């Protein structure tokens, strides 16, 4: 377990969400934080260029290669990986403070990053989002305005990424967005009620009712 991020009484849950690029995981995660209280979205660092409409500090922290390397050497990332040829990293400090405040955090990261989180945080929850078909995935990439060369690279990587789906805890097919949101919401709500995460509550209620 990573120092400082031990799951335990009153601590938040880490939800790792992965999907091939264009599946809709960003859309899904942005909707879920509006609908479910107490869940935050982790903001990663990346060296890739911002897309139209993306904001620094909201979608990503957009940094240079040098800045990324400096942060990596300082140990600022709990994990980082090269995805579609560019570096992406999850900052450790905000994750630790949110979890310690009892807030849940969604990490929208690729399967390489997800594996690293699995090694470090044994009680994280892993969710893989699949597109209904490869044709629809291609259409979503195009509609989002992804450049042609990028679409080719992302479609090529999609198959390999999807092979990881079976080691995740949950799979969501993002067909109709409303359905996918409901499924993700159900997963979060159910995970919060797992007995392992409720033991302290059970003890608290029993001792209170016995006046101890």
Q: Is 112 in the site for ligand 5GP (CB under 6 A)?
A: yes
To ligand 5GP, the closest distance from the beta carbon of 160 in angstroms equals: 12
Site for ligand ADP in 4-43 (CB under 6 A): 19, 21-27
- What is the end-to-end Cα distance of the chain in Å, rounded? 33
Is beta strand 77-83 parallel, antiparallel or unpaired with respect to 86-91? antiparallel
Site for ligand ADP in 137-166 (CB under 6 A): 140, 143-144
Q: Is 100 in the site for ligand ADP (CB under 6 A)?
A: no
Q: Is 109 in the site for ligand 5GP (CB under 6 A)?
A: yes
Among 2, 31, 38, 48, binds ligand 5GP (CB under 6 A): 48
Whether the Cβ atoms of residue 60 and residue 45 lie closer than 8 Å to each other: yes
Ranges of beta strands (E only) in 24-134 are: 39-41, 45-46, 61-62, 77-83, 86-91, 104-108, 125-130
Separation of alpha carbons 18 and 113, rounded Å: 9
What DSSP string runs through 114-143? Answer: HHHHHHH-TT-EEEEEE-S-HHHHHHHHHH
Q: Is 111 in the site for ligand ADP (CB under 6 A)?
A: no
Q: Is 117 in the site for ligand 5GP (CB under 6 A)?
A: no
Q: Is 168 in the site for ligand 5GP (CB under 6 A)?
A: no
- Nearer residue to ligand 5GP within complex by CB, 11 or 87: 87
Crossing angle between the packed helical segments 177-192 and 25-35, to the nearest 10 degrees: 60
Cα angle value 120/170/167 (rounded, 5°): 55
Determine the interface stretch with ligand 5GP among 2-10, 67-75, 85-93, 197-205 (rule: CB under 6 A).
Answer: 85-93
Determine the interface stretch with ligand ADP among 77-85, 116-124, 171-179, 182-190 (rule: CB under 6 A).
Answer: 171-179
Token pair listed for 177: 């967005």
- Point out which residues bind ligand ADP (CB under 6 A): 19, 21-27, 140, 143-144, 174, 176-177, 180
- Point out which residues bind ligand 5GP (CB under 6 A): 18, 21, 44, 48, 79-81, 83-84, 88-90, 108-110, 112-113
């Amino acid at each position: 377990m990573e120092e400082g991020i031990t799951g335990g009484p009153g601590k938040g849950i880490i939800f790792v969400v992965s999907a091939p690029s264009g599946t809709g995981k960003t859309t899904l995660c942005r909707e879920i934080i509006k609908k479910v209280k107490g869940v935050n979205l982790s903001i990663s660092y990346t060296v890739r260029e911002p897309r139209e409409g993306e904001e620094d500090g909201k979608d990503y922290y957009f940094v240079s290669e040098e800045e990324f390397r400096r942060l990596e050497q300082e140990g600022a990332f709990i994990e980082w990986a090269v995805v579609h040829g560019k570096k992406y990293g999850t900052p450790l400090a905000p994750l630790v403070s949110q979890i310690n405040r009892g807030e849940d955090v969604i990490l929208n990261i690729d399967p390489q990053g997800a594996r690293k989180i699995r090694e470090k945080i044994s009680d994280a929850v892993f969710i893989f989002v699949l597109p209904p078909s490869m044709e629809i995935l291609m259409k979503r990439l195009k509609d989002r305005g992804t450049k042609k060369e990028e679409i080719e690279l992302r479609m090529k990587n999609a198959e390999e990424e999807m092979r990881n789906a079976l080691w995740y805890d949950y799979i969501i097919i993002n067909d109709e967005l409303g359905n996918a949101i409901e499924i993700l919401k159900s997963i979060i709500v159910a995970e919060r009620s797992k007995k392992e995460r409720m033991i302290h509550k059970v003890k608290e209620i029993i001792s209170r009712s016995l006046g101890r």
